[in-house]
Amino acid sequence: MLTQDSGWNFSFAGCGFLGVYHIGVASCLQQRAPHVISGATRVYGASAGALTAASLLGGACLGECCADVMELARLARRSTLGPLHPAFHIVKIIRAGLRRVLPEDAHLRAAGRLCISLTRVSDGHNVLVSDFASKEELVQALICSSFVPIYCGIIPPTFRGVRYVDGGISDNVPSYELKTTITVSPFCGESDICPRDSSPSFLELRLKNTSIQCNLDNIYRLSRALFPPEPQVLSKMCQQGYNDALRFLRENTLRVRRRRRVGLTVVQRTVPSAAEPVRKCCSLPLSGGEQKSPVPDEASPLWALEEKLWENLPLPIRVALKNACMEKAGVVAYLRSLYPVRLASYLMLPCTLPVESAVSLTVRVTRLLEWLPDVPDDVRWMSQQALLVVRYLCRQASRSLARR
């Protein structure tokens, strides 16, 4: 049981697109036991876990965060190559989403409590950052913590003049060794809040402090961390995160608020101004001033999820998940899902990829213009790395010649 005397921390593991599980956990904590979040000494996070931790402490609406994750997954699935398509710029999308959902004083709200895991490129050591001078600096730290080399780009981003990459490479669950740290992971294992798979396994893989039980369910989750599954699967993961967090609260005899049943409506997303107060969307009902539109009948085939699957989730997250599940509705989407059509798209990839790259030329030009201010620093860094590689090869060659 958690006590005020000993205190407690939270640590969200890095998991790529499975971060929607963290949103389910965070929404449960925010809705059912807000005192657990407000009483936490620190909240650690790596990669996608850092994004959720920053949203939770920074005062962002988790419903909007969930909608952004589902939209990012949709964009990643849109092309045949998925997130590896040249036109898919994941860093730009994440940066724009963070700037939109985080309030202007997010760095002040998170100062001293939010700890972001980073991996320093120069030596590979783990660095925890907890103080931020501005909202933009907080966003930049989150970008560094989420930057997977090669997958997100070639040149790592910088934070305060130092280059960092994904924090999960060096420490995926920061401060997991502390007994007062509540670990959260979408992989079945020894984490405090994690799925409990039905298939038993005595084998465990510990990957950068992440406990992963060796079973088929975890293998599937690992395969979908960087290549997002269908929206129905992501929705189930979000609901599972909510249920796992609720089970943890009950097992530790923590005070849990009762959930109020609310009718479902589709809320039109609007970008709030900086002067508007930040509302905890998962802890309060919708105000009467928001625009609403009725939802189609629950028995409609548009809904790929059953009511019992998502009925416990807060209303804004339910809306985001249901809107995402409508992606597959329509004749065109049905035809694209057919196996012969998908097979033909893969066979024609050598012909269609150059055309798609040419069409996305405007995107490339825009990206080049955005890169121009950083060209001197990036070129200097690449030349230094090339020099280090040449020196290493020369040393190896000299050693081999000396042995002969």
Active-site residue list: 47, 166
Residue 231 CB-density burial (10 A; 0-12 exposed, 13-18 middle, 19+ buried) = buried
Alpha carbon distance 131, 110 (integer Å): 8
Residue type (1 letter), 171: D
CB 190 within 8 A of CB 214: no
* Half-sphere exposure for 27 (CA within 13 Å, toward CB): 30
The first and second tokens of residue 194, run together, are: 């994690």
52 φ, ψ (degrees, to nearest 5): -70, -40
Helices (H), 175-271: 216-223, 231-251
Alpha carbon distance 293, 346 (integer Å): 39
Residue 334 CB-density burial (10 A; 0-12 exposed, 13-18 middle, 19+ buried) = exposed
Alpha carbon distance 92, 374 (integer Å): 15
> SS3 for 293?
strand
Residues 6+ apart with CB under 8 A from 34: 280, 283
Identify the helix (H) or strand (E) that includes residue 355. helix 349-359
Alpha-carbon distance values, 111 to 54, 114, 132, 230 (Å): 10, 6, 6, 36
Count CB-CB contacts under 10 A for residue 227. Answer: 14
CB 321 within 8 A of CB 70: yes
Strands 42-46 and 114-120: parallel
